[in-house]
Structure 1
Amino acid sequence: MARGLLYAFISAFCFGLLPVLSKLAFGCGMTTFEILQYRFGFGALCLAVYFAIARPQLFRISREGLIKSLLVGAVFFPMQSTGFVGAVKYIPASTTALIIYGYPALTAIASAILFKQPLTKNITTSLVLIFSGCALVFCDAFLHSADYRGVLLAVSSMLGIALNFIIGQLLLKGENAQSVTFYVLLSSAIAYFAANTYLSGAPSNPLDLSSRALIISFSVGLISTTLAILFMYMAIEKVGSTYTSIFSCFEPVTSVFFSWVLLSEPLAAWQLAGAALIIGGIIWPNKKLLSKPIPPREAHSS
């Protein structure tokens, strides 16, 4: 149990570093599409090395699963990723992370509409808390004259993440999650390589990057992509998806904290209050789970 929760915490920590590392990459003169090209390129490369060494069978995927993965990676995934990384170019990384974390509420509402999942009292309370937290974050952003482009990109990413959860449930059901992840990353890397080449007029060569930019790019691919995803699945294998989801609430906390430490972004009272409400909204529906034993079927799910 303790090991599984530790894996979940590490995964959330790695995901939470993405806006901070992206902000540092912009400081090196990289463009949005360059950052994303190297994020998914290095991410797919690291995952391929892991598969080749430890689990080569994960390279195998059905034709239908491959088509679905390519569709998600080349079309739906870029919708959220472009907005996410693009937003930190215009607004603080911490504000970006907190705005985007409104996606659980949107996902719950969409699931209630599309899949007829009931909105219980706990879930409704969760939605109110999350939306209230996002409202405080928006308020702080506008009080500080935040660039509207960054806010709109963050909102588009939030919508894209919610859409991807719905699309994933509809299209990728019954597929091996880790195999799908690799082909999603690979197709996203190819899509961003093509887009970056088209926009810049020439392919982007990692050897042309400065040593600092190369280290940051590789860190985004290794830490916020490969390690984040692998530890997430390791946590699910140990304690199940429900317990793993509880600890995803550490992701925005990581973003806000390291934005303050590494980027010297100020921590406003409104942001702290919004973060507390968002995290409370994420934890609320699951507050009783930690006191219950893990169902055997879920504890070994993947």
Structure 2
Amino acid sequence: MIQGLIFAIISATAFGSMAILVKLGYDAGLDGAVMMQFRFTYGAAMLGCVLLVKDRRLLTISTSGLIKCAFLGFVVYWLQTTCFVTALATIPASTTALVLYGHPVAVTLLSWLFLNMKLDRTVLLSLALVMAGCCLVFYDAFLREVEWTGLMYAFGAMAFFSCYLILVQVMLKDTKPLTATFYVMLFAAAAFTLSGDVGIWFAPTRATLIIGPALGLIPGMIAVTFLYLSIERVGSAYACIFSSIEPVVTLIGAVMVLNETVVLLQVTGTALIILGIVIPNARMAALRRSAARA
């Protein structure tokens, strides 16, 4: 459980930077599809180099595994990410994030319905604390009038991401996490290259040379790899709960990079999120100690 928690926090920290980088990219005049083209292409290239050095056998994948990765990267991930960056272009980042961070509830319910996950009081309490914390962290999202189309895109991102996490657990359980990560990112890169701008590679600018690799490394290779590692160890529902540290990272990044202010409600929300993550781990540790004594 602890290892899954650590991997989820690393993934969430990396994912949390994406909203900040995308906002900076929009300010620099970059298109959302182009930014995701950079994210997945650079990410796949970086991870491919790592696998070549680490163990070339990790690049080997079965035909059925390749087909599953193609579906996840070319279809599901493309839909989720497109909805997310489109929402960021039309409504505030905090509103988009607030809607997206409803996915722990959706994934837990889906795991209960389809993966026989037990919904005990600890899980429900953890979810309640996490969702209350997210609402406080993004409290200002409730105070804004937002464009309904952007809101629909945000809900679409949440729905597709929830389905994606369940599908990863079910479809790629027999595929090594690093192998699955590489091929999913590779197919996502192909999808966004087709919907983005192939010519952008031949007309580099300062923004593309800085933001592009940053998107590929941080919310790309690092975030997706450690998410898969976390799901492999604790399942998609717990990985989502543990990944709820992500809005805290986004909030810190917004303060440090975008010069946004933090109020007491947001600090309280941060504390609730951390408490919601600690509770299931503390319970698991107590159960293991009891089992060891027995």
Residue 257 of structure 2 aligns with an amino acid whose one-letter code is L
For residues 41-62 of structure 1, what are the alpha-carbon distances to aligned partners after superposition, in whole Å with 9 as ceiling and x for unaligned? 1111111111112221111000
Superposed counterparts of 1:1-302, under 5 Å? 9-136=9-136, 140-197=140-197, 203-231=198-226, 240-241=233-234, 245=239, 248-290=243-285
> How far 1:262 moved relative to its partner?
0.2
Residue 71 of structure 2 aligns with an amino acid whose one-letter code is L
User: Which stretch of structure 1 is more off in the superposition, 244-253 or 99-108?
Assistant: 244-253
Tell me which residue corresponds to 1:300: none
> How far 1:182 moved relative to its partner?
0.7
- Extract unaligned runs of 5+ from structure 2: 290-294
Conserved 8 A contact 1:87-1:150 = yes
Question: Taking structure 2 as the reference length, what is the TM-score of the superposition?
Answer: 0.83
- Between the aligned partners of 2:244 and 2:131, the Cα distance in structure 1 is 15
> How far 1:66 moved relative to its partner?
0.3
- Between the aligned partners of 1:146 and 1:279, the Cα distance in structure 2 is 29
Residue 16 of structure 1 aligns with an amino acid whose one-letter code is G
Change (3 A) 1:99 1:286: farther
For residues 1-51 of structure 1, what are the alpha-carbon distances to aligned partners after superposition, in whole Å with 9 as ceiling and x for unaligned? 999976664443222211111111111111111111111011111111111
> How far 1:273 moved relative to its partner?
4.3
Tell me which residue corresponds to 2:292: none
Conserved 8 A contact 2:17-2:219 = yes
Change (3 A) 1:6 1:261: same
SS in structure 2 opposite 1:119? coil
Conserved 8 A contact 1:9-1:248 = yes
Conserved 8 A contact 1:110-1:166 = yes
Change (3 A) 1:272 1:160: farther
- Between the aligned partners of 2:116 and 2:6, the Cα distance in structure 1 is 33
Change (3 A) 1:231 1:118: closer
User: Which stretch of structure 1 is more off in the superposition, 226-235 or 172-181?
Assistant: 226-235
Residue 77 of structure 2 aligns with an amino acid whose one-letter code is F
Change (3 A) 1:63 1:228: same
Residue 254 of structure 2 aligns with an amino acid whose one-letter code is S
Conserved 8 A contact 1:73-1:188 = yes
Conserved 8 A contact 2:169-2:231 = no
Change (3 A) 1:134 1:16: closer
Conserved 8 A contact 2:177-2:225 = no
Provide the alpha-carbon RMSD of the alignment: 3.1
Identity %: 35
> How far 1:99 moved relative to its partner?
3.2
> How far 1:74 moved relative to its partner?
0.7
For residues 189-238 of structure 1, what are the alpha-carbon distances to aligned partners after superposition, in whole Å with 9 as ceiling and x for unaligned? 111111125xxxxx33224232133211110101221123445567899x
- Between the aligned partners of 2:123 and 2:11, the Cα distance in structure 1 is 24
Conserved 8 A contact 1:137-1:271 = yes
Conserved 8 A contact 1:20-1:259 = yes
User: Which stretch of structure 1 is more off in the superposition, 113-122 or 146-155?
Assistant: 146-155
- Extract unaligned runs of 5+ from structure 1: 198-202, 295-302
